[in-house]
Amino acid sequence: MALAGVRVIELAGLAPAPFCGMILADFGARVIRVDRTKVAMTVDTQARGKQSVALNLKNPKGVAVLKRLCVQSDVVLEPYRKGVMEKMGLGPEDLLKENPRLIYARLTGYGQSGSYAKGAGHDINYLAMSGLLSMLGRSSEKPYAPLNLVADFAGGGLMCAFGIVLALLERSRSGQGQIIDASMVEGAAYVGSFMWKSRSLGLWNRPRGENLLDSGAPFYDTYRTSDGKYMAVGAIEPQFYQQLIQGLGLYDADLPAQMSVSDWPELRQTFTRVFASKTQEQWSRVFDGTDACVTPVLSLDEVLSHPHNQARGSFFKDSQGEISPRPAPVLSRSPAEPCHSRDPFIGEHTRSVLKEYGFKQAQIEQLLSAGIAECNEAKARL
């Protein structure tokens, strides 16, 4: 796999850093997540392919252990508020001094500088600060965050993984590590570059929810079918729009022009009425194989069995029967091979990892009996 041989220490976080670590693990990196001790259950649902070491970082000896892990690794990924790592003596200066090849990834909401740097926040706040949230939502409604996808995952976890891969690539030439300041505000904004750079086309001149791609246009929206499901319509170009009209059994001559914005409400009403006359499956049969750009809106459970997804193996079931998306993109020679077994228990690999990183058996037992480290191998065997 592409990242085989890369060792990553991921400090346990909420959602974006775990996703970043999972991407790296899916593509072959060895990812060791450092968890807290005395925690019954992990909230990391993005732990595929990772190992877990439990350390008490409130104890200087726990910090020393972590330092030793970082110094012998390629990447450290930290999801804390600005200053937390420095307070523990694990800031980039300390770690890079001992391991100049280390890539030190800091995944935060607001970045390492600026007046918000130390503030708490979540996806919705970062999205708001990126400018993008102001554009999301239906006409005459308040801004609406699309789950926590944009800042946490696209602008956060994914962008940070991209930064790590870039830094690894650069290190292969320079031999040097570096610090990655991954701000979710900036990552989200960067993902949304199109919104800024397409303003010159007049794409966003109208209020929120009344433009071509923000559910303003009737040919770029979702429609309810007679069985309570939905179809997604993205028939922008005239030649594709014609196929939409044809599939719906409508006639161009009876309809207003596609780009007549003032007629969009009327056109939407017509589409709404027609889509409500058949089931999702019936509409899929009408539009499959055409260029009308009409697809069923599938649920998370339905994606696995859709023939197209099935043919590509786009989703898979792990050993627990849980459905997940296959890692993307697909590399022809060294594709990702996602781990199919269950996620690690907290501290499941403490002993084995510490041993591998050069700790003597007696040292490990001491750390465990003092509660500085915690091992849950037994739980894993049950």
Please report whether residue 55 would count as binding ligand LNO2BQTQ according to CB under 6 A.
yes
Please report whether residue 15 would count as binding ligand LNO2BQTQ according to CB under 6 A.
yes
Q: Is residue 122 flagged as an active site residue?
A: yes
Please report whether residue 21 would count as binding ligand LNO2BQTQ according to CB under 6 A.
no
Instruction: Please identify which residue in the block is written with the tokens 């914005």.
Output: 261
CB of 192 to ligand LNO2BQTQ, least distance (A): 17
- Report the residue from 148, 242, 290, 363 that binds ligand LNO2BQTQ according to the rule CB under 6 A: 148
Catalytic residue (one of 122, 263, 318, 340)? 122
- Report the residue from 120, 169, 253, 257 that binds ligand LNO2BQTQ according to the rule CB under 6 A: 120
CB of 41 to ligand LNO2BQTQ, least distance (A): 5
CB of 199 to ligand LNO2BQTQ, least distance (A): 28
3-state secondary structure of 174: helix
CA distance 216 to 6: 46
Pick the stretch among 78-86, 241-249, 312-320, 367-375 that binds ligand LNO2BQTQ (CB under 6 A).
78-86
CA distance 218 to 32: 48
Please report whether residue 43 would count as binding ligand LNO2BQTQ according to CB under 6 A.
yes
Q: In this structure, how many other beta carbons lie within 10 angstroms of the beta carbon of residue 17?
A: 28
Answer whether 203's CB lies under 8 Å from 209's CB: no
Of 8 and 57, the one with the shorter C-beta distance to ligand LNO2BQTQ is 57
Of 81 and 268, the one with the shorter C-beta distance to ligand LNO2BQTQ is 81
Of 47, 50, 53, 84, residue with least CA distance to 70: 53
- Report the residue from 80, 162, 220, 315 that binds ligand LNO2BQTQ according to the rule CB under 6 A: 80
Answer whether 322's CB lies under 8 Å from 353's CB: no
Cβ within 8 Å of residue 379, ≥6 positions away: 345, 348
CA distance 7 to 72: 8
CB of 252 to ligand LNO2BQTQ, least distance (A): 46
Q: Is residue 349 flagged as an active site residue?
A: no
- Helices 159-174 and 184-191 pack at an angle, to 10 degrees, of 100
Of 68 and 122, the one with the shorter C-beta distance to ligand LNO2BQTQ is 122
Two tokens, residue 61: 């000896």
Number of amino acids touching ligand LNO2BQTQ (CB under 6 A): 25
* CA distances (Å), origin 174, targets 167, 177, 178, 325: 10, 8, 11, 35
Of 154 and 336, the one with the shorter C-beta distance to ligand LNO2BQTQ is 154
The one-letter amino acid code at 280 reads Q
Pick the stretch among 68-76, 120-128, 268-276, 288-296 that binds ligand LNO2BQTQ (CB under 6 A).
120-128
Two tokens, residue 251: 């006639």
Please report whether residue 183 would count as binding ligand LNO2BQTQ according to CB under 6 A.
no
Pick the stretch among 119-127, 245-253, 315-323, 352-360 that binds ligand LNO2BQTQ (CB under 6 A).
119-127
CA distance 21 to 47: 8
Cβ within 8 Å of residue 86, ≥6 positions away: none
Please report whether residue 303 would count as binding ligand LNO2BQTQ according to CB under 6 A.
no
Q: Scanning residues 94 to 113, which ones bind ligand LNO2BQTQ (CB under 6 A)?
A: 108-109
Two tokens, residue 43: 């909230």
Answer whether 33's CB lies under 8 Å from 344's CB: yes
Quote the DSSP letter at residue 158: I
CB of 91 to ligand LNO2BQTQ, least distance (A): 13
CA distance 52 to 21: 12
The catalytic residue positions are 122, 152
Residues that bind ligand LNO2BQTQ (CB under 6 A): 13-16, 34, 36, 41, 43, 55-58, 79-81, 84, 87, 108-109, 120-123, 148, 152
